[in-house]
Structure 1
Amino acid sequence: MKAAVFHTPGSPLSIEDVSIGKPGPHEVLIRTRAVGVCHSDLHLVDGLLPHPAPVILGHEAAGVVEAVGELVRTVRPGDHVVTCLSVYCGHCEHCLTGELSLCISPDTRRSKEEEPRLAYRHKPMPQFANLSAFAEQMLVHEHACVAIRRDMPLDRAALIGCGVTTGTGAVFHTAKVAPGETVAVIGCGGIGLSAINGAALAGAGRIIAIDMLDSKLDLARTFGATDVISAKDTDVVKAVRDLTRGGVHHAFECIGLKSTAEQAFTMLRRGGTATVIGMVKPGVKLDIDPYQLLQGKRLQGSVMGSNRFPVDMPRLVDFYMTGKLRLDEMISRRLKLEQINEAFDELRLGELARSVIVFED
């Protein structure tokens, strides 16, 4: 199969032939139809996060099932599916207590004694995020995908596989935003826009979008923001406090910077919660005034929106099909696999919400 292969940080990905195995007992072979280009992929391409290479990146995908292993019960050939990197085993303590996104059981991966799912130039190839989606096919554990209704456009369904689930899930599950509460979202990329949309679905009373780009703030209004703040020349913490007369109930950091994570915590009202969704560089230390903890304020992280994706994703699809979840406006460009490096160049500029790699039928 053709795949975009990452070799070394700072170098463009190359389109090459990669071998893919046949499904094991609990595995699913998927014909990839669409993959979103996410900042998490860019972090590896630019060397901010280490990963063994060569490797196929990509983790925000949708496709059609081609074949399944003999013990697979969740999907069948012909099913339209969305994949998810938070693959779960179903029997560890996290899974049994409803925390599927925290599962790290090795049971969902092939052992070292087995043939690898992917091979490059006749050598085993690591699989990125249990998926490796920048390729014509994916071979995954059955608990890394979920079937969805067939009338859902797959280029939009792909976005649900990471960014949309992460943003809405942080609102619904991690923070548990209640109707009438006030929300601030820092960063209006794909995840931030999804958090805004999720806050609107949750019934938040006031939703404040914060970004450096006016174009993204305009887009944020489309997704449900009631107020916008340009971070170019504004003290955003003061602006949020002035708008809400003391701070917000919930702040969501969707960029992954030290400064914005600290701002999210500082703009809270007493008893408020700041949820860091963005991928902060490992080793970075946050400066938090401990006195604010005595005001009942909380700072927390969110792993893939604390999702239960086999339940969440079909519901998000239904939200889209009924006009409640906005995905059309999130796609800035549709590209071919051969244009993958263009997508990363555009992502570095930070001006687009999402580019999607689309495979021909």
Structure 2
Amino acid sequence: MKAAVLVQAGQPLAIEDLVIDTPGPHEVLIRTAACGLCHSDLHFIDGAYPHAVPAVPGHEAAGIVEAVGSEVRTVKVGDAVVTCLSAFCGHCEFCVTGRMALCLGAETRRSRGAPSRMSRPDGTPVGQMLNLSGFAEQMLVHEHACTAIDPEMPLDRASLIGCAVTTGAGAVFNACKLVPGETVAVVGCGGVGLAAINAAKIAGAGRIIAADPLPEKRELAMKLGATDTVDALSDTATAEIVEMTKGGVDHAIEAVGRPSSAALAVGALRRGGTATVLGMMPLTEKVGLSALDLLAGKKLQGAFMGMNRFPVDMPRLVDFYLRGMLDLDTLIAERIPLERINDGFETMRGGHAARSVVVFAQ
């Protein structure tokens, strides 16, 4: 199979022919249909987040099940599926208390010393990134890293649900538990932020304020449900949000991964409001609340992957799309073949478009 391989951090991905293993117990072999380019991938490619190489990135994917190993019970050959990097064991403390996204169950990963799922033709092991490796024509994953969806769902749009939409919408539905009529500010209008805006509209938010420095991103936000926009880099951005909401928002969602954008989210809160940080920040950075923020009852939380329960959440998001409520078409800026993946990441570095999606020949 062809795959995009990270050979060395800071270098473009290399298109290589790799060999993929057959499914073991609880494993699913998927023919990849599409995989979105996520900023998280870029963190690994650029070396901001360390990872052993060579490895195949990509984690926002959808495809068709080609084969299943013994013990697989949740999907079958021919199913359309979406993958998710937050694989779950189903019986640890986090899983049984409904926080599946926090599961660290080792049984969803191959044990130390077991053969790699992927290798070069000469036998050199190639690592699987985030348990998925979606920038490849095939994926071999644990059955608890994918879920079946309605076969009517277009798979290029379904791929976005694997990360950006699950994270952004999940923050609204699962972490914020937004009540209809509450006000929301979203800082950063990339794929995750735009999905959060769309979800806030679905949830019945009274006012949705999109903060981004780029006019074209703010325009996309209005199309997806924002009622107001501000320039996130303006010196008056916080004051503008507080003024237009007469005291601040109930929920502020940070979807960039910078301390300054987290500070904007906290500053935009009303008394008792909650800031939810989704962006991947440099590992040495810290964000927090001042003593005055604490006196005002403000809260700060993370929401890894939208705190999803993806076997339930993803089919619901698919249903939202099929019923015309979730706008995934607007999120896709371009569809590209695997051979143009480095061009797609260059587009991402420019920051002016929403999502690029690699589409594989079927």
CA distance in 2, matches of 1:321, 1:3: 31
Aligned residue in 2 for 1:309 = 310
Aligned residue in 1 for 2:131 = 130
Aligned residue in 2 for 1:248 = 249
Aligned residue in 2 for 1:231 = 232
1:84-125 per-position Cα deviation (integer Å, ceiling 9, x unaligned): 000001111111111110001110011123222112341222
**Aligned-pair distance for 1:234?**
4.6
Aligned residue in 1 for 2:80 = 80
CA distance in 2, matches of 1:288, 1:27: 43
Q: Which amino acid aligns with 1:109?
A: R
Q: Which amino acid aligns with 2:49?
A: L
2:289/2:300 contact within 8 Å kept: no
CA distance in 2, matches of 1:113, 1:188: 42
Q: Which amino acid aligns with 1:159?
A: L
CA distance in 2, matches of 1:259, 1:235: 13
Percent identity between the two aligned chains: 58
- After superposition, residues 1-361 of structure 1 pair within 5 angstroms as 1-120=1-120, 121-286=122-287, 288-361=289-362
CA distance in 2, matches of 1:231, 1:72: 47
CA distance in 1, matches of 2:252, 2:201: 14
2:6/2:14 contact within 8 Å kept: yes
Q: Which amino acid aligns with 1:8?
A: Q
**Aligned-pair distance for 1:214?**
0.9
CA distance in 1, matches of 2:291, 2:135: 44
CA distance in 2, matches of 1:99, 1:83: 18
1:309-334 per-position Cα deviation (integer Å, ceiling 9, x unaligned): 00000000000001000000110000
Q: Against the structure 1 CA distance between its residues 291 and 74, is the aligned structure 2 distance closer, same or farther, given a 3 Å change threshold?
A: same
**Aligned-pair distance for 1:288?**
3.5
CA distance in 2, matches of 1:110, 1:123: 17
Taking structure 2 as the reference length, the TM-score comes to: 0.98
CA distance in 1, matches of 2:40, 2:234: 28
1:263-296 per-position Cα deviation (integer Å, ceiling 9, x unaligned): 1111111000000011111111336322211111
CA distance in 2, matches of 1:186, 1:241: 14
2:288/2:300 contact within 8 Å kept: no
Question: What stretches of structure 1 of length at least 5 have no aligned partner?
Answer: none
CA distance in 2, matches of 1:350, 1:113: 40
Q: Which amino acid aligns with 1:5?
A: V
Q: Which amino acid aligns with 1:332?
A: A
CA distance in 1, matches of 2:334, 2:47: 25
CA distance in 2, matches of 1:33, 1:20: 16
CA distance in 1, matches of 2:271, 2:210: 20
Moved over 3 A (4+): none
SS of alignment partner, residue 330 of structure 2: helix
Question: What stretches of structure 2 of length at least 5 have no aligned partner?
Answer: none
